[in-house]
Structure 1
């Protein structure tokens, strides 16, 4: 049972951790909060060519990605394994949650505790869930106590696009970016005044709706949005109470509902002197019901506020300043009785300088500041921590070769100096085929729960260290786009629960190997996107678990997504198969593999109105991604959309 698993347990359970039964709850219920998101390679998303769009000064749209190198790049020029999910793709999939949106992408494993709004873990290339850095409009997200972000509460209707970069990025972003970076951008305004509207409903008493208003002129733009979601849900957990308890260690055969109300605002203005400023805000209120002995209700608030300023003192020098605050507040109840509170805040400031040394060379130099604070009903020994970082990156193009070198020094308040770096090389074998190789290292500081939680934390923990190597090949042809990615990651000082200490300790090591194959093609008008992932996440710790598979990672997955338009009608289907996985470190509890089929269709009334329908889990397959926690059976959902 890893300490990271314990850190992922809902806060009220951790509050009662010293009880042996709660330790068991932690072991069974929340190993799940780790994340993998091996998602695509270079130019592809589920086989799609990546189509992130940004406007230049002439309002010409060009495909770009900014997260991979912290600088804008054409997607077909980036050397890293990157994914961009656009607004159009979100609507095409008829996704209602981040879990819907990301499930089945190449290399992803998701573990969910019983439906919408329940704890959801995302494993990025087999690493832990707090080994992925999540940004919203450039501002760091996540809980300082658990180290993870409650992605299930992020409203997809208010998202413009998502960029996912796989592999260690600590050399540019500092701690947490061990498995990669997920960067979420809220919706943005364009020229003219444009309202949008959606409303839908379906199985399990589910309804959802959203509305946005955006506008813009030659120099300024804005977007305002609101989103709501409510479901009666289903029985989240099929567990049983002590002494032979399992799952959530209780028996509550009731419906476990979820509600969420969110709002966002984003605006920008470009002054005549070239100064470009932007501000963004997103707020999410969630109310979640679940099965539990000591708590079974929670109220969660997530909020991010940030601002960005860009200015070029001279033609070859652009400065970017980003500052913001994110908060994650959790109040927890047993029925109507208040039990605990966990509020965390993250303040971030980043100053970046991009210097164009020549048409083929770009030098980036910058500094970051991160300050975490905790306010809780539990008495943490320490309640704040800062991290300073300075970094440099050099990007060079020499004929068919491209090279990226990055180096970073971090000064952590508790752990002192850490140095990380990465080297990435790319070679254009032909006009259609590109090869790439990379090496990088990363680190992750222990969370406040792991360090200071009363009766549980271990203040002597060391940061986790990781190193990764990757080889990739990407092809772009008239008949198809394809990619292959082969990688290995080794993690030292992996934090795990030590039963002899009744506390977390640096006792584990892990080796993760993976292969991702992605193909996108079109046959007789059908767009077909497929991916196949093999993952080998092995525990190398000394002890009984040595050689076992890390929990809740499926070693094989295969997805095919297809769609075609017939006049005013669009039809599509998704086939997803995942192999078996284990729910515990000892590999004694097995969750069977499963096959799931979803169907979707939409009718386009005119250029502004459309109605969409989706059948999920067509064959009503019973399956689990976390042991004893149920997943939706066959269900239906319809949505009416207005979007000029």
Structure 2
């Protein structure tokens, strides 16, 4: 395995050095006669994406009654959010029924990792400093990216705010304060400063506190549909306090840029746990101390060659306590470390033909004080080779990713290393002269290793779990049109049909406790689906405008492992056949009215699709009113929100009731 590490690293470095050597003389000659007045950040190769993405940015994000990244992701087609309720409840995301671990979450270009359980709690990621969220199915279809980016079945890219300054103002200050139901208080601040013409810095901080108490209804039926329990109560032990801080230094150089980021998140929260047999008080507590620092460097040495280098160190500390008198006491600490290094290089062979070679190295380690813990650590190597062609009306991208993984433990015999190659092909075609209409398609194979939790946790892990494989096929079309002088200023219609085949699919179920899971290989799952998205903008007058965004998803995700199983060809747990969302906004002068709607159809909470496991459809409506004004040189914005407008009682996850109608107000001041 050591030789594999060395070979992969040398291959990537040789590619970068050879491409650089070809262009060095020409670049020196150009530099001797040219004086660069502007900074060109990266070459045009960076922007050659084959397949369009789903995106929420700017004004659209502001229209949502959303405070975390998880809240915003509910409005993407093809995604299902697992929400355990309340302000501090665990929130993860599932893409096209393939599971959380097939979706990569990237924060300013570098993936957020969690080898411990693969669950990125998106509720911890605040929207206060987020400028754009983008979803890619398959993968980000640009070849200038880290090698591991080619390995995900889907990717979410979160881009934080980049400082912008007025000519005579070298700094920005922003403060936001909010009050909401459940005794919830939010405070955040942003400071940005221009240190020089080429360097600026920013500091973003946020504080959250909440009692987590909210009223809910617990209604359960017996198998004969008679009422077993019908109780209205207040959710307990859902309190949270959290402190987040993020520092950035941005720099630009000739034909390049660099960025350094340091991030910390600290929280303490209660875990209400599942409500079983009308019992809802639990004694579980959890504290998280998550920190990471990352560095990104990107430079174009010529019009033909660009390189990118990434580095990251992350440390996650979790302390879990269970003092519930009805259960065995638990007091455990988990410490996770990650080191990540990456180089990506792209070379333009011809004006319409580029190739890239990328290499990533990742080291993960998990320590714990639990009984019989095996102290695993993992070495992962990724190397990718990709090519892209952009010729007239045709865009094409092909890639292959090699994944090499080796686990070591302190007390167990090491399993053999895993070596897997994952190919992908993306095509986009404009059939007409106008680029308003396009067809796209992709086919991809992806692979993921079981997490440390799934493999090694005492009484939870299953060392016999097999790695999970996904094969995706997707065809779709986009129709987009803009108008300058008409009532309808623009519209966009996007439709995709897809088929996914999962082998040895791993499913995690809550084991009565939010932090603990029971692991199971389902075997084979076939997933068929349709994603539909429509957007439009109307402007009846210069002072009045309307925007609308609609998305719908149909999914059939069937277990096809064994015809003799009672659940053969049944829908897998927690996947609704029908789901969708809508966002409508109206702007008039300084006022803004926003309405958002989310719907999830019927589904089942266990493998067998029987009446006892049935979960009804749910929907929720949110409404907000915004007033923006200037006061003594300050830009101010007042927001009032009503969430779950019609006070519907529903569970996203069985026995984890969601809040009824709740309210929030906030003020945002920019200096």
TM-score range, shorter chain: 0.7 to 0.9
Which of these residues, 603, 608, 613, is aligned with residue 589 of structure 1? 613
1:174 deviation in Å?
A: 3.7
Superposed CA deviations along residues 10-33 of structure 1, whole A, max 9, x for unmatched, are xxxxxxxxxxxxxxxxxxxxxxxx
Distance 1:57 1:124 in 2: 44
Partner residue in 2 for 1:317: 305
Distance 1:514 1:390 in 2: 31
Render the CA deviation track for 1:59-101: whole Å, top value 9, x for unaligned.
899xx9x9xxx9632xxx6333522332443333241122321
Equivalent of 1:183 in 132, 145, 157: 157
Structure 1 residue 276 corresponds to structure 2 residue 257: yes
Q: In structure 2, do the counterparts of structure 1 residues 413 and 487 end up closer, same or farther at CA, with 3 Å as the change threshold? A: same
**Corresponding residue for residue 232 of structure 1:** 211
Match for residue 493 of structure 1? Answer: 504
Deviations 1:468-519 (A, max 9, x none): 0100100111342110011111111223699xxx995655111111111111
Contact 1:235 1:255 in 2 (8 A): no
3-state secondary structure, aligned to 2:239:
strand
Cα distance in 2, alignment partners of residues 530 and 494 from structure 1: 31
Shift, 1:594, TM fit: 2.0
2:107 counterpart of 1:136: yes
Q: How does 1:373-412 map to 2 (within 5 A)?
A: 373-378=365-370, 379-412=372-405
1:552 to 569, 574, 588: 574
Change in CA separation of 1:80 and 1:417 when aligned onto 2, cut-off 3 Å: same
- Shift in Å, 1:208: 0.5
1:157 aligned partner = 128
Match of 1:426 in 2: 428
Residue 285 of structure 1 corresponds to 266
1:343 correspondence with 2:335: yes
Q: Give 1:453-472 correspondences, 5 Å limit.
A: 453-472=457-476
Deviation at residue 434 of structure 1 after TM alignment? 0.6
Contact 2:395 2:427 in 1 (8 A): yes
* Equivalent residue number for residue 561 of structure 1: 583
Pick one of 485, 493, 515 that aligns with 2:530. Answer: 515
* Cα distance change, pair 319–168 in 1 and its aligned pair in 2 (3 A): closer
Q: Distance in 2 between matches of 1:623 and 1:507?
A: 27
Give the whole-Å Cα distance in 2 for the aligned partners of 1:442 and 1:622. Answer: 38
Residues 642 and 464 (structure 1), Cα distance of their counterparts in 2 relative to 1, 3 Å cut: same
Instruction: Give 3-state SS (helix, strand or coil) of 2:62's partner.
Output: helix
Q: 2:8: which partner in 1?
A: none
Quick one: which of 83, 88, 109 aligns to 2:80?
Answer: 109
- Cα distance in 1, alignment partners of residues 654 and 571 from structure 2: 16
Distance in 2 between residues matched to 1:189 and 1:169, nearest whole Å: 25
Q: Partners in 2 of 1:322 and 1:304 — Cα distance?
A: 13
Superposed CA deviations along residues 352-371 of structure 1, whole A, max 9, x for unmatched, are 11112222122111100011
After superposition, the C-alpha distances for 1:310-367 in whole angstroms (9 at most, x for unaligned) are 2334442111110102233210123598711122122111101111222212211110
In the other structure, the counterpart of 1:39 is none
Instruction: Say if 1:223 and 1:547 are closer, same or farther in 2 by CA, change over 3 A.
Output: same
Matched residue SS, 2:318: strand
What displacement does 1:593 show? Answer: 0.7
Offset from partner CA, 1:128-157 (integer Å, 9 cap, x none)? 112212222233323222111111112221
Q: Which has the larger radius of gyration?
A: 2
| Preserved CA contact (<8 Å) 1:158 1:227 | no
Q: Which of the numbers 642, 648, 653 marks the counterpart of 1:621? A: 648
Q: CA separation in 2, counterparts of 1:401 and 1:612?
A: 46
Structure with the bigger RCO (C-alpha within 8 Å, sep 6+) is: 1
Q: For the residues of structure 1 that align with 2:508 and 2:310, how far apart are their CA atoms? A: 37
Structure 2 regions of 5+ residues with no counterpart?
1-35, 274-280, 408-416, 483-489, 510-516
**Alpha-carbon shift at residue 380 of structure 1 (Å):** 3.1
Equivalent residue, structure 1, for 2:20: none
Distance 1:560 1:338, change over 3 A: same
Which consecutive residues of structure 1, in runs of 5 or more, have no partner in the other structure? Answer: 1-55
Number of the residue aligned with 2:242 = 260
Alignment TM-score, normalising by the size of structure 2: 0.79
Residue 580 of structure 1 and its aligned partner are, at CA, apart by 1.3
